[in-house]
Structure 1
Amino acid sequence: MKVLILTNLFPSPWLPHRAPFNRQQFTRLAALHEVEVIAGVGFRDWLRGRRGEPALEGIKVDYVVSWYLPVLLRRLHPAFWLASLLLQRGLRLRTSSYDCILASWAHPDGVGAAWVSRWLGIPLVVKVHGNDINVAAADPARGRQVSKAFGQCRRVVAVSRALAAKCRALGAERVDVIYNGVDTSLFAPSPADGRGQERDPRAPVILFVGNLLASKGCFDLLEAMPMLLERHPGARLVFAGSGSDRPRLGRRAASLAIASSVSFAGTIEHAGLAPLMRAASVVCLPSHSEGVPNVLLEAMACGTPVVATSVGGIPEVVPPHAGILVEPRQPAALADALGETIARRWDRDAIAAHGAGFRWSTNVEQLSATLLAAVVEHASARATGRRA
């Protein structure tokens, strides 16, 4: 098949570390089909200039500058995205004879892609990740737009059962649950770990990987640290990532008098995360909402236990033998879970085996089957005169 992917979630020279899960999935899909990615780059990122060249061998990628009104009138963002796409790449879209469209992220990407799908007369599949449904679609105006786009879809791909249920509530008729995968050539226990060997509980390292935002629970984690340090004075918290709340996090660590126990590693290359995860005592992700974050799958594949919040699809992928789940926005409970995780003796081989069970090969086979089903259903509908 010739597959067009429309998304803002893809690495670019302006955001080279963006969405490594989509990079991994789409490059593997390109080994099975002719895949072209048109990635939207927000105009503010574009104006800041290029920051690096992502490694994107084996896949055709083009970029469109996405113009929109920041913050205000979010319900108009799909129209801005569509206008940006058509003005910059409209002729190519019309003449390229794609078999189907895969839109990754429901709003604005999926909503705009629904219009492109109707214009080109080809089937649409929308892949949803988490906050595009948990947050964006929770807004009444944007939720109606997503619901209408789902009515245009042949299939919706959700990364968890919890997310799939929300998509069905929004009117999606056919939802396929496809969990993301793990690159086990990178994320695996190192031979030096040794079977059953534990990290030194006197100097435990708590690792956070992701965007430094309040919605990711970063401040909850900071608030938990003084309580944890009472029990484990040698504990150290490492934030790996970047985000708009980085300055505030630094100030809050100072005000809590824990700055010496907190470090900010900045954005780390994807391959460079594996050694950090292997060295950590625990990987913590206390998000307020999620789909299924790859950071947890990758940490478990390294044999590292996790502490996370019981939101979205996280309970579906973190069994009791691999970590501890807590309610969001509960720093005291988070501190207790971190302390228990540090003190407990974990079977790291069993954790690694569980994490390695999330295979990209399985993921891409399932995604390919979903896309093919959408094309077949669309052709059948056109042949019988039903909704095309």
Structure 2
Amino acid sequence: MVSWEYPPVVVGGLGRHVHHLSVALAAAGHEVVVLSRRPSGTDALSHPTTDTVVEGVRVVAVAEDPPDFEFARDMMAWTLGLGHALVRAGLAVGDHDGSRWVPDVVHAHDWLVAHAAITLAQVHDVPLVATIHATEAGRHSGWVAGTINRQVHSVEWWLAAEADALIACSASMRDEVARLFGPDLSEIHTIHNGIDVSTWPFTPRSAHDGPPRLLYAGRLEYEKGVQDLIAAMPRLRRTHPGTTLDILGDGTQETWLRGLARTHRVVRAVRFRGTADHAGLLSALQRCDAIVLPSRYEPFGIVALEAAAVGAPLVTSTAGGLGEAVTDGVTGMAFAPGDVTGLAAAVRAVLLDPAAAQGRAVAARERLTSDFSWRLVAARTAEVYLSAKRRVRHPIGRPEIVTRPLPDRDLGAD
């Protein structure tokens, strides 16, 4: 398993996905080695490479090399440096008796580890499986006109082209991968993200005195649509005075979003709480009257599963995987991406009828236990491993990059 994040280094949902999948695979009897990294901005003196077994998974966390690369400033150089470090560490992995350790399959998670995963699969002559968690085009509504956008897109294309089997976390993501990187791809398997419901205890909602409490949890990026939720706050406060919004998370758009709160005159009602650990997120989910996930682009949306497990009423856009995870009026309330009026109406439906919202939350929790267990996700992933066969490689040219949205698809939309 090759991933640029793995606990304790977690940037977003990808790190949690790889962690839970690895642990579930190990619990099923598979031998799992995860290649990941030490925290950004460290070095081999302050944070040397570690090789430990945690929860049955062997985790090799690789130290950063000395060159002065910063992810935010030098993204492509930093990524190539990470790739070199992962390759060296991967080739140095030994077996229990000191002999060379050879995997049966290399599983890459997203483009940042493409160089390392492709190299290790080639050296070991084993199948390469790639999970595409999101795409650069999808994150930017189909536009990849900028230099960095084109570079990232081309690496994603290369990883997809080299993979002997592909995994997407939703049907919409599967279609996106096929449309962007096809047609000559290996089979694309749809395997949803999972959740361990034992770590997210269900908490029935009870009436409380005071104004409604809304919650957003996730990265603060444009595609997450937090700007639409902030824009809806004045409307919600007119019909439900005193409504507050807690925002958990950080990201590149935090300063802009804080400015939007001033523009819409809801600074005191919108509270930026920063990042939260598991206990902090659980507590926030237990207290809120509804969690609102207004994504404009969302391959899956693991926070929706966590919220449903806890029993927090769900209000989500229909973007990508959210539209598959949440059934409008059954397991939550939904609205079209970018539709501020629809967002406000969906939130009001929850606040006006708490009993119905509780019923939908119970239905969402019940669906989780059968459709999204990590045991099932791991079993389906193992089936992909067993069926993947290393193909004969032929030289490939550079991709033809479409720098504008595809004419017949608004990426990420329902």
TM over 0.5: yes
CA contact (8 A) 2:132 2:166 kept: yes
Distance in 2 between the 1:330 and 1:126 partners?
A: 33
Corresponding letter in the other structure for 1:122: V
RMSD of the alignment, in Å?
3.3
Greater mean alpha carbon deviation, residues 258-267 or residues 170-179: 258-267
Change in 2 beyond 3 A, CA 1:248/1:313: same
- Equivalent position of 1:33 in the other structure: 30
Greater mean alpha carbon deviation, residues 251-260 or residues 172-181: 251-260
What residue ranges of structure 1 are gaps of 5+ in the alignment?
Answer: none
Aligned positions, number: 367
Distance in 1 between the 2:103 and 2:139 partners?
A: 31
In the TM superposition, 1:89-104 aligns within 5 A as 89-92=90-93, 95-104=100-109
- Equivalent position of 1:249 in the other structure: 257
The structure carrying a bigger helix percent of its residues is 1
Change in 2 beyond 3 A, CA 1:280/1:177: same
Matched, 1:312 2:320: yes
In the TM superposition, 1:222-233 aligns within 5 A as 222-233=230-241
- Equivalent position of 1:333 in the other structure: 342
- Equivalent position of 1:59 in the other structure: 57
What per-residue deviation string (whole Å, max 9, x for no partner) do you get for residues 1-29 of structure 1? xxxx1111322358699722322221121
What per-residue deviation string (whole Å, max 9, x for no partner) do you get for residues 242-287 of structure 1? 3343344344434433233222333222244233223221111112
- Equivalent position of 1:363 in the other structure: 377
Counterpart secondary structure, 2:160: helix
* Offset, 1:103: 0.7
In the TM superposition, 1:82-161 aligns within 5 A as 82-87=83-88, 89-92=90-93, 95-105=100-110, 107-131=111-135, 134-135=138-139, 139-161=149-171
State the percentage of identical aligned residues. 23
- Equivalent position of 1:292 in the other structure: 300
CA contact (8 A) 1:77 1:108 kept: no
Matched, 1:208 2:216: yes
* Offset, 1:203: 2.2
CA contact (8 A) 2:246 2:271 kept: yes
Distance in 2 between the 1:248 and 1:387 partners?
A: 46
What per-residue deviation string (whole Å, max 9, x for no partner) do you get for residues 199-227 of structure 1? 45962211111122333222222121111
Counterpart secondary structure, 2:198: coil
Corresponding letter in the other structure for 1:62: V
Change in 2 beyond 3 A, CA 1:132/1:179: farther
- Equivalent position of 1:24 in the other structure: 20
* Offset, 1:35: 0.9
Corresponding letter in the other structure for 1:340: A
Distance in 2 between the 1:60 and 1:26 partners?
A: 9
Greater mean alpha carbon deviation, residues 12-21 or residues 291-300: 12-21
Counterpart secondary structure, 1:103: strand
Provide the TM-score with structure 2 as the length reference.
Answer: 0.77
What per-residue deviation string (whole Å, max 9, x for no partner) do you get for residues 77-124 of structure 1? 66444323235554338932111111111x122354123211221111
* Offset, 1:128: 1.5
Distance in 1 between the 2:331 and 2:11 partners?
A: 32
Change in 2 beyond 3 A, CA 1:214/1:66: farther
What per-residue deviation string (whole Å, max 9, x for no partner) do you get for residues 180-202 of structure 1? 11211122423xx2xxx654596
CA contact (8 A) 1:209 1:241 kept: yes
Counterpart secondary structure, 2:316: strand
What per-residue deviation string (whole Å, max 9, x for no partner) do you get for residues 301-336 of structure 1? 223221222212211111121222223333333222
Distance in 1 between the 2:350 and 2:10 partners?
A: 38
Counterpart secondary structure, 2:60: strand
Distance in 2 between the 1:244 and 1:181 partners?
A: 27
Distance in 1 between the 2:136 and 2:101 partners?
A: 29
Change in 2 beyond 3 A, CA 1:56/1:227: farther
